[in-house]
Chains A and B, each alone.
Chain A
Amino acid sequence: MVKAGLGGQDLTWRQLFLTASLKELSRYRPYLLFWFAVVILAFSFVDRWYFGLEWFEWVPWMGSKSALVILFGVVIYVLWLRSEYKQWSKTS
């Protein structure tokens, strides 16, 4: 399910995280990969909220933690996909 969510349901784990050729790259499902990219993009914007809050000195400056936030977003995305999949499995 994680592989499917990342758009690589037809790929092995090695091919998914270490795509070695254009042929392997073409086997990605663009629709799913696109949504995964949107999740990364959306959570990278948490930084903007943080920078805005920091401008008003409502939060202390701790440096950008965008990598951690994006990782958190990816985990949320996978959990959400899992719950949707479970719900779909029950109804179908």
Chain B
Amino acid sequence: MAATHGRRVELAEAQLIEERSLNPIKLLFLFMASGIFGLTTVEYVKVPEVLRLAIVYFMPVLLFAALVISAILYKQAPLSIPTFPLGLGVFLIVGGVGFDMVATVLHTPTLSGEGNVVAVGLFNSGTLLGSCISMALFANPFSQP
């Protein structure tokens, strides 16, 4: 009886530690929330141009950190991710972004009709077209939400 009680206390303590600690999943979630908050700010809130640009340039940093954490988590996973959801996710995210980017560049090579807030922010700051496209290749999946 006492042993069972002790085990329960241990489990409760472990759960409390897990809830309070900043584990990689929480960190990843924080990055996602920060990205969404940043992009929403850039698109819908009137902020000074310097701040807008800072947010735009910070997005790839956020993405890179998220990718590193994702890779660590992927390596730590005890089971492999089921093929169907993984394949569907890759098809939707990588395929969708790639196809849309190719179609956009083919139809408007100067990206004159681009409405993406990050791209518009870069253009307005005088960033070269090649740099914009390079950044889009790296950061586009993250700029969707």
Residues of A within 8 A of B (CB): 26-27, 30-31, 33-34, 37-38, 40-49, 51-53, 55-56, 80, 84
Contacts and interface: CB of A to CB of B under 8 A. Distances in A.
Contact of A46 (B26, B92, B104): B92
A27 B19 contact: yes
Nearest to A31: B25
B25 A34 contact: yes
Given A41-B32, A42-B88, A43-B92, 9 more contacts: A34-B28, A34-B32, A41-B93, A45-B93, A45-B96, A46-B92, A48-B96, A49-B96, A55-B107
Contacts of B28: 34
18 contacts: A26-B19, A30-B23, A30-B26, A40-B145, A43-B92, A45-B92, A45-B97, A46-B92, A47-B96, A48-B99, A48-B144, A49-B92, A49-B100, A52-B100, A52-B104, A55-B100, A55-B106, A80-B84
Given A30-B25, A33-B29, A37-B29, A42 B89 contact: yes
A45 B26 CA distance: 23
Q: Describe A's contact surface by its main secondary structure.
A: helix
Nearest to B106: A55
Enumerate the 10 nearest inter-chain pairs by beta-carbon distance, A residue then B residue, closest first: A48-B96, A55-B103, A52-B99, A45-B96, A48-B100, A52-B103, A52-B100, A45-B92, A30-B25, A49-B96
A37 B96 contact: no
A72 to B, nearest CB: 12
B95 interface: yes
A70 B82 CA distance: 21
A34 to B, nearest CB: 5
A34 B73 CA distance: 12
Given A30-B23, A55-B107, A41 B145 contact: yes
B96 A52 contact: yes
A34 B100 contact: no
B102 interface: yes
Interface string B83-115: 011001100110111011011101100000000
Nearest to B141: A45
